[in-house]
Amino acid sequence: MYRLLFYFLISLLFISCVNNNKITIINNAQEQITFNFRASQTPVASGSNVTIKDIPNGTYLYSTIFTLPAGATSWTTSGNAGSGSLTFLRNQTTYMIIYSSTLIDGVYTLYSSVSSTDTVSSGHSITGP
């Protein structure tokens, strides 16, 4: 009986320590973006997505490098497309960042939308221009 209780408590402890924090980056922008996060660069081709897994709890800054398409004479970012921060307070937090873009009169604009599964988290904040 005690042995069974012991194994149950150990398995419960193990399950509660599993870190499943992740970020899914979806690039609907016209060109490739590179997501800079925790001293790593993650390239995401246009029309594809990438998931970064096993992120420890904490608050982390990120920034985005992007390629200008042919015909662009200037660029801008909107909202937190250029940079920001993400907060992971639980071991099961998922962020989804969707990038999109426009090219109007030679001005390339990169947009992003950030959402999180963690309703307790302070979420993200804009730290870029």
Considering the chain, what is the average pLDDT of its residues?
A: 85
Asked if CATH classification 2.60.40 holds for the domain at 20-126, the reply, yes or no, is yes
> Which pLDDT tens digit goes with each residue over 46-55?
999 999 999 9
C-alpha span between 63 and 93 (Å, rounded): 20
Residue 16 has pLDDT above 60, yes or no: no
**What strand order describes the sheet that includes 22-27?**
49-53, 22-27, 94-104, 107-116, 74-77
Whole-model pTM? 0.79
Cα atoms found within 13 Å of the Cα of residue 58, Cβ hemisphere only: 8
Q: How many CB atoms lie within 10 A of CB 116?
A: 20
7 pLDDT band (50/70/90 cuts)? low
> Which pLDDT tens digit goes with each residue over 66-117?
999 999 999 999 988 999 999 998 889 999 999 999 999 999 999 999 999 8
Q: What is the DSSP letter of 58?
A: E
